[in-house]
Structure 1
Amino acid sequence: MALLNSTQIRSQAAKSLELIAFEGQSAGEILNHIEFENPSDTSLFKAIVLGSCRYFVRLEALTLLLLKKKFKPKDHDLLCLLIVGLYQLDEYSRVPDHAAISETVDACRALKKDWATKLLNGVLRNFLRQKDALNQKLDRDWDTKFSFPEWLIKRIKPHYKGQVEQILEQSNLQAPMSLRVNLMKTTRDQFCHQLDEVGLGYSKHTFVDSAVVLEQAIPVQSIPGFSEGHCSVQDVAAQVAAQLLAPSKDQKVLDACAAPGGKTAHLLELTHNNIELDAVDIDPQRCIRIQENMGRLALGANIEAEDALSFMQAKTEHYDAILLDVPCSATGVIRRHPDIKLLRRDADIDELCIIQQQLLTAAWKALRPGGKLLYATCSILFEENSAQIADFISNTKNAKLASLPPELTAISQSDIGCQILPGTDSMDGFYYSLLQKEG
């Protein structure tokens, strides 16, 4: 892990943003390997990188209004540094204007591009002079107003008429920190009493009885009972999965595409560790994380580092219940991972849909007659969700939709399964469809 000093915050943020926007690296991969000598500098660095990702589309459009000509590809680091500077000036950051400008210029020198210092200084000062007029221009179109790629808005718009602006706006808000109480070890009321004792504000979720939403995010080490396995960090919408699948004691259960293991653990907690659970994920490193999770929570599962498709294709009517949390566009969790706006491409969606179909077909083969399969995504896209399930049911004679709890149907934005939109009852955007195998 690289340890850096405070003068490198902006230059390193620009380099990191370049890797995300132009090299396709995820913010998580980058941020996990960079730390500054001062923890507050690390927090500022991460806030700048993620904030610049969140508003990249808008801020890049802003550079086109301010520059006489675009930067060449070899100067993408300068473009990203300018975006970092504009991010701090455009009401997204608490850094004083004069400090944001001088630090951006200093970072330009740190990038060894002294020739551009006057250019960046002039552009940033020009922005401050024209700020209101420029922002009015950007607010005319949804892509620049909400800083979303145009292709993604086009995919969302036909299926959420009258809700598009709300979806985009909610996706730009920072998500709250949500906890899953381990009901094997404590009750939610007992856990909340621990929070009261240390003065942490929270709310109990209305219909997910394991969920607590904190008023303010804190380091996990500061959460009472975390190291003892009394709770885990997990979005409320993700906690719905185990409650819906609800396996019974001694059943054989599969969690396909299981990493990072939150839903795996929740299934075991709800059944008091009394199911035979296989957790499969293709990434060995992520499987190690699942194992570490199991250890902290004192849970047991058979964890397989294997391709879920091959794994399921080798099984025939083997499982009583399957959680199929398929690879998806992750468009429902942009508020947590704003780099998704930069990493995802329109062509990815059709490719993902093919993978989802293959996994669903293989999972159905591995499910016993009378068994239940929960199809899950953290997407809000019609093609990945209700369209997939409608197509599968129409082509699979022994598949039928199982009913969902009224609390979910009340908030669902889909007639097939349950589509949760970002921000609904403090939740991320998720889709669930519970299928029953007849016979």
Structure 2
Amino acid sequence: MKKTQKITALSARAAAAEIVLQVCDQGQSLSTLLPHYQNKVKPQDFPLLQEICFGICRVLPRLERIIQHLVDKPLKGKTRIVHCLLLVGLYQLLYTRVPSHAAVDEVVNATSVLKSERFRGLINGVLRRFLREKEAILSLIDKHWQTLHPEWLVNKLKKAYPHWRDIIEANNQKPPMWLRINQQHSSVAHYRTLLSQESYPADNPSALRLTTPSAVQNLPFFSDGWATVQDINTQWAAHLLEAKNHEFILDACAAPGGKTTHILELAPEANVVALDIEEARLVRVHENLARLKQQATVICGDASQPMTWLDQIPMPSRQFDRILLDAPCSATGVIRRHPDIKWLRQEQDIPALVALQKQILTALWSILKPNGILLYATCSVLPEENSEQIVQFLENTPNARLEALPFNHTDKNAIGFQFFPQPAGGDGFYYAKLRKVSVDSQQG
């Protein structure tokens, strides 16, 4: 009889060290890596794995300074996995409720599966020394306020905003969990009564904030499409677009589909096209549409090259009534949800992103109907991707007119609107609403 090979689950600590190594040294993202590890660890260990990985990326410079203080020689090359195990151990000791002895023992034991057993003594010694000298070490390490951000990003925020410290502090917090309530099934007030925990409505007509995050399977009627997890500031996209039934709507850069489904909640009979350049990411769009029992035309294509995919769409003209462009960006407004962005994004990435945004904006403008609306959006807080991008577009596009947003009542000269991350509020998000007018009316 043939023996089946027993597959041993990877410990959460070993998996975390592998993931952190790939983020820090190979530039891979947590959102890409974590799904691959979901079946490599025990189901009950996956939440801990997520907590450790996100947490390390959130406070990485602080942990690095502690290691520099405790380890004489930097761990380089093949020993970088040992360095990452120390990050895992220190994060647990500082930020989790895992008992100290268990945290140390589990990290030491992880050396076996990671083929680093000869470093058991080093890891054990460093972590136990930290526990003995914790107060003195932290007083030295934390003598000055730490931004926990790369210097280039801090400098950009300083230059752009007087309240830059508030942005950084918000980025370093864990984000709240926001729900979008499907008005076709329930009101926000009614859904609050269905929840088993306290929750808070907000100024957005469909938003509800949970006191503590919850697994989606615990949310009432989630599988039936009554609610969607979506940040409150992202939820403004569909409201500002103001899609109408029977109009042709393009959701460019649509994955994972949260805005697509919201547009269809507000205008169920709109002809919505969800476009994204990555085929793999469109799987999520299909899943979200299926859960909400909605219909949309889903296309894999490059938003900067509309003529390569426009013929796939059954529409009477080659132009849309409304376009939502959630442009590729630095994602500096959602750092608290994706703290690895701080270490993946580089300063030299920004000019290339700005150029791509300009290219897409210009290309999509050509397929917008006269008097049509294009809503430009990013999850960035950098002016060059947002207000400065729109100023330049308006200067170069005679038939583009900036429309007022409901948030601009205090500043009628504002170029769009910039949301900033708030500890109990939404993420950093930018909107600018543009109308395609005749050149004569623009001049008049």
Shift of 1:237: 0.8
Counterparts of 1:184 and 1:398 in 2: how far apart (Å)?
37
Residues 259-290 of structure 1 show CA distances to partners (whole Å, capped at 9, x for unaligned) of: 0010011111111x121111101112222221
SS of 1:394's equivalent?
helix
1:309 and 1:362 in contact (8 A); partners too: yes
1:319 aligns with 2:320: yes
Structure 1 178/18 Cα, relative in aligned 2: closer, same or farther at 3 Å?
same
Structure 1 138/419 Cα, relative in aligned 2: closer, same or farther at 3 Å?
farther
The counterpart of 2:217, out of the listed 197, 221, 226, is 221
Aligned residue number for residue 74 of structure 2: 70
Aligned residue number for residue 276 of structure 1: 271
SS of 1:216's equivalent?
coil
1:245 and 1:374 in contact (8 A); partners too: yes
1:170 aligns with 2:170: yes
Shift of 1:221: 1.2
Aligned residue number for residue 253 of structure 1: 249
Shift of 1:313: 7.4
Shift of 1:84: 0.9
Counterparts of 2:140 and 2:164 in 1: how far apart (Å)?
20
Structure 1 28/261 Cα, relative in aligned 2: closer, same or farther at 3 Å?
same
The counterpart of 1:204, out of the listed 195, 201, 215, is 201
Aligned residue number for residue 389 of structure 2: 388
1:3 and 1:34 in contact (8 A); partners too: no
1:15 aligns with 2:22: no
Counterparts of 2:224 and 2:75 in 1: how far apart (Å)?
52
1:291 aligns with 2:286: yes
SS of 2:370's equivalent?
strand
**Identical amino acids, percent of aligned pairs:** 43
What's the C-alpha RMSD, in Å, of the aligned pairs? 2.2
Shift of 1:362: 0.7
Counterparts of 2:399 and 2:140 in 1: how far apart (Å)?
54
**Worse-matched range after superposition: 233-242 or 29-38:** 29-38
**Worse-matched range after superposition: 130-139 or 303-312:** 130-139
1:308 aligns with 2:312: no
Write the letter of the residue equivalent to 1:255. D
Counterparts of 1:99 and 1:190 in 2: how far apart (Å)?
44
Shift of 1:33: 2.2
Shift of 1:139: 3.5
Write the letter of the residue equivalent to 2:75. F
Counterparts of 1:95 and 1:424 in 2: how far apart (Å)?
25
Shift of 1:425: 5.7
SS of 1:20's equivalent?
helix
1:181 and 1:211 in contact (8 A); partners too: yes
Counterparts of 2:368 and 2:143 in 1: how far apart (Å)?
50
The counterpart of 1:84, out of the listed 73, 85, 88, is 88
Structure 1 149/140 Cα, relative in aligned 2: closer, same or farther at 3 Å?
farther
Counterparts of 1:140 and 1:377 in 2: how far apart (Å)?
36
Number of corresponding residues: 425
Aligned residue number for residue 180 of structure 1: 180
1:47 aligns with 2:35: no
Aligned residue number for residue 355 of structure 2: 354
Residues 306-350 of structure 1 show CA distances to partners (whole Å, capped at 9, x for unaligned) of: 112112677697011110001111111111111112211111111
Aligned residue number for residue 191 of structure 2: 191
1:262 aligns with 2:258: yes
Aligned residue number for residue 313 of structure 2: none
Contiguous gaps of at least 5 residues in structure 2: 1-5, 311-316, 439-444
Aligned residue number for residue 142 of structure 2: 139
2:20 and 2:53 in contact (8 A); partners too: yes
1:98 aligns with 2:93: no
2:177 and 2:209 in contact (8 A); partners too: yes
Residues 142-182 of structure 1 show CA distances to partners (whole Å, capped at 9, x for unaligned) of: 5xx23211111112111112x22221111121111111111
Shift of 1:430: 0.5
Residues 64-104 of structure 1 show CA distances to partners (whole Å, capped at 9, x for unaligned) of: 222212112221111111111111122x1112222222222
Shift of 1:3: 7.3
1:58 and 1:146 in contact (8 A); partners too: no
Counterparts of 1:369 and 1:424 in 2: how far apart (Å)?
41
2:301 and 2:309 in contact (8 A); partners too: no
1:3 and 1:37 in contact (8 A); partners too: no
Aligned residue number for residue 370 of structure 1: 371
SS of 2:33's equivalent?
helix
Write the letter of the residue equivalent to 1:330. A
1:312 and 1:363 in contact (8 A); partners too: no
SS of 2:84's equivalent?
helix
Counterparts of 1:15 and 1:424 in 2: how far apart (Å)?
30
**Worse-matched range after superposition: 171-180 or 233-242:** 171-180
1:126 aligns with 2:121: no
Counterparts of 1:117 and 1:222 in 2: how far apart (Å)?
41
1:179 and 1:212 in contact (8 A); partners too: yes
Residues 221-258 of structure 1 show CA distances to partners (whole Å, capped at 9, x for unaligned) of: 11111111111111111100011110223221110000
Aligned residue number for residue 438 of structure 1: 437
